[in-house]
């Protein structure tokens, strides 16, 4: 049976979303991650998680202002990829940095705030991923599900703070500034959209 245009679009988007993971897997297999491959892999996965979170936040403004209604159907997919890359980032931290020593992980969470903040961002994405299961979406209902999933903005803010805290120790904040500006702009866009919607729903005098 031939694929529909929408199916082909989804397959193409899946392919694009998987490309970073495939490329990183290739670099791991070919020793292409430099002198410190564990750190390079950890950082790259964290950056891709951040990029996908930014893409999720950008869906609604683009859909509304550019009238790209078709984007709404891909927000959940992008959110799940954000969670997947964030999970790989966290697993690499636990496995490669901490050697699966859970006592050391708990001690690290207590002593290094940027690790705690990053873990909180991942836990928010975990909750959002679990509640993206169709059965749970139906159980929660549309309004409650949408309200819960606004927590992605909190995850984005925590992720930027995690990134800033990590880079501040190395006095390397240029890249952090880029993501801070993107997330801030998308948060402002969200506020503007809510204001515009409230104005539209306001009863006329």
The residue with tokens 């801070």 is 180
Beta carbons of 91 and 98 less than 8 angstroms apart: no
Is residue 201 predicted with pLDDT exceeding 80? no
How far apart are alpha carbons 203 and 195 in whole angstroms?
14
- The percent of residues above 90 in pLDDT, for the chain, comes to 69
For 22, counting Cβ atoms within 10 Å of its Cβ (0-12 exposed, 13-18 middle, 19+ buried), the class is exposed
Q: Tens of pLDDT along 103-141?
A: 999 999 999 999 999 999 999 999 999 998 888 888 888
Neighbours of 21 (CB within 10 A): 16
Structure tokens at 82: 């954000």
Q: Where are the domains of the chain?
A: 35-199
How far apart are alpha carbons 99 and 113 in whole angstroms?
20
Global pTM reads 0.92
Closest C-alpha to 90, from 79, 111, 76, 105: 105
Beta carbons of 120 and 113 less than 8 angstroms apart: no
Strands (E), 66-155: none
Confidence of residue 204 (pLDDT cuts 50, 70, 90): low
Confidence of residue 86 (pLDDT cuts 50, 70, 90): very high
């Amino acid at each position: 049976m031939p694929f529909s245009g929408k199916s082909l679009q989804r397959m193409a988007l899946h392919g694009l979303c998987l490309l970073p993971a495939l490329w990183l897997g290739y670099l791991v297999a070919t020793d292409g991650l430099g002198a410190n491959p564990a750190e390079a892999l950890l950082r790259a996965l964290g950056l891709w998680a951040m990029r996908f979170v930014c893409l999720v936040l950008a869906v609604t403004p683009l859909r509304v202002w550019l009238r790209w209604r078709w984007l709404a159907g891909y927000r959940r997919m992008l959110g799940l990829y954000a969670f997947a890359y964030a999970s790989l980032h966290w697993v690499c931290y636990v496995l490669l940095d901490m050697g699966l020593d859970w006592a050391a992980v708990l001690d690290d969470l207590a002593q290094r705030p940027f690790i705690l903040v990053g873990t909180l961002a991942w836990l928010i994405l975990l909750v959002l991923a679990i509640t993206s299961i169709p059965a749970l979406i139906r159980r929660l209902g549309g309004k409650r599900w949408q309200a819960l999933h606004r927590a992605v903005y909190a995850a984005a803010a925590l992720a930027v703070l995690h990134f800033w805290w990590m880079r501040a120790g190395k006095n390397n904040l240029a890249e952090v500034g880029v993501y801070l500006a993107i997330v801030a702009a998308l948060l402002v866009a969200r506020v503007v959209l809510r204001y515009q919607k409230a104005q539209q729903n306001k009863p006329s005098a």
